[in-house]
Structure 1
């Protein structure tokens, strides 16, 4: 069992200092190396602690979950559609209409190669490793959303930081209440893929 001092230092290094370093320009392979080493370190800790939980949720819990997601998605869709149509009307559903094959590739690639690792790291690992450091439920959720937003600092875009903070709040709450990597990954993939579909992919570093 690690001391709280060690855990705080580890959290600071993995979720603040390393992401902060990506904000500055230096060799890309060094950045990739730092990211890979950090993620492998996390996977080793998760294996030792048997944190991996790939159990499927029971069927009864899926119906209210998807109803909740549908309601959130409607709100997100309305707000983002108005935003894109006002700021960049030429981007509205552009990739879906002009490059449907790329759209499909991005949807699957993003869900598997981006969403899943993010949720393993920022929800499954984070909550199992650091939950004891924050007594208050909402403080823990806020902290998780903050470091999740901080991970996108390298994109140097205020809107991205705001979106990922709000998304982080939603995902953190879902994981806190459901304790399911699968369900929070589904939610993350749905919202992220919608943002790409509606025309916000460029600011989120998707290929256009």
Structure 2
């Protein structure tokens, strides 16, 4: 059993020190090495210490999940479409309308190589490692969303920070309820892919 001090130090390094450092200008190859080593550490802890089996749980309520996700997606779609319509109309649906093949490729790359690793770190790893350290579940979820938002600091965009904080709340609530990395990954991918579709992908580092 690892000590509380060890876990809090681990949390600080992985979720605060490293993301903040990525917002500082230094060679990209060093950032990549740090990112890969950090992800390998997370996988090691999940597999060897937390004893994860990475099996799809049998108890998942897919109907309830997709119903709730669809409702939330509808709200997100309306709000983001209105935002693009009034703030940045030239980019409204620009990729899906003009470069549909690139749009499909982006959705695949984003979902597999970005969303899944993020959810392993920010939901599976975070919840399993640190939930026992917090007595207040609301505070635990707010901290999770804050750290998730902080991970996007390197974009240096206030709207991105707000959107990822809101997303962090939604994803944390989903994981808290289902304990499923698969479901929270699907939810994250759906909302993220919508942002690319509506034309907000450029601010998230994807070409338009």
Q: TM-score range by the shorter chain?
A: over 0.9
How far apart are the structure 2 equivalents of 1:20 and 1:98? 35
Q: Equivalents in 1 of 2:102, 2:19: separation in Å?
A: 29
Measured in 2, the distance between the counterparts of 1:135 and 1:178 equals: 20
Q: In structure 1, list runs of 5 or more residues that go unmatched.
A: none
Paired residues, what number? 207
CA distance in 1, matches of 2:95, 2:19: 29
1:15-70 C-alpha deviation (Å, 9 max, x unpaired): 000111111100111111111111111111111121243314446x1111100001
Alignment partner, residue 123 of structure 1: 123
Pairing 1:94–2:132 present: no
Q: Which residue matches 2:13? A: 13
Residues in 2 aligned to 1:54 and 1:107: alpha-carbon distance in whole angstroms: 24
Aligned to 2:175: 175
Secondary structure of the structure 1 residue equivalent to 2:25:
coil
Residues in 1 aligned to 2:149 and 2:133: alpha-carbon distance in whole angstroms: 20
Give a deviation string over 1:121-145, Cα, whole Å, max 9, x none: 1101110011111111111111110
Where does the alignment leave 5 or more consecutive residues of structure 2 unmatched? none
1:198 equivalent in structure 2? 198
Distance in structure 1 (CA, Å) of the matches to 2:81 and 2:197 = 10
Distance in 1 (CA, whole Å) between partners of 2:57 and 2:77 is 28
Give the Å deviation of 1:74: 0.6
The 1-side partners of 2:163 and 2:145 are apart by 10
8 Å Cα contact 1:150/1:161 also seen in 2: yes
TM-score by length of 2: 0.97
Aligned position for 2:110 = 110
1:115/1:52 CA distance change after superposition, 3 Å = farther
SS in 1 for 2:43: helix
Aligned Cα root-mean-square deviation (Å): 1.0
